[in-house]
Structure 1
Amino acid sequence: MQYDRAQQILNSEKTIPVFYEGKSIWIEKLNAQDQTAIVTSDSGQTTVPVIKLEEGHLS
């Protein structure tokens, strides 16, 4: 995912599904300087590269 799209998702009023390594995550915060995101999943909170995030679709 591009950083700009992650920023749009974070600021959106809608719930937009996002995945990291196939797991559903929630973007908590973005860091423009190193292009990372702090994300929350069932496993807890971690920092990941934004480029590895994937936007999903509600079914």
Structure 2
Amino acid sequence: MNSKRAAEIYASKDTIAVQLDGEPVWIENVDDANGMATVQVGAKPTNTKTVSVERLTEH
């Protein structure tokens, strides 16, 4: 995925399935300048990771 698409998903009112290494995640923030995204892994709001948007896939 690229930063632009990650930002579009983050801003969308629709629910769009995104995965990180096969695990479902929610995009919490996108840092377009650095190509990074903060994602919530699973159902725990405190379980977040900051990763390259290139690691995210849309399903």
Give the secondary-structure state (helix, strand or coil) at the position aligned to 1:6. helix
Quote the sequence identity (%): 34
Cα deviation code 1:18-42 (max 9, x no counterpart): 0000000000001112110000012
Equivalent-residue separation in structure 2 for 1:34 and 1:5 (angstroms): 14
RMSD: 1.1
User: Which consecutive unaligned segments of at least 5 residues does structure 1 have?
Assistant: none
Instruction: Give the TM-score normalised by structure 1.
Output: 0.88
Moved more, 38-47 or 24-33: 38-47
Equivalent-residue separation in structure 2 for 1:2 and 1:50 (angstroms): 6
Structure 1 residue runs of 4 or more that deviate by more than 6 Å after TM superposition: none
Moved more, 37-46 or 15-24: 37-46
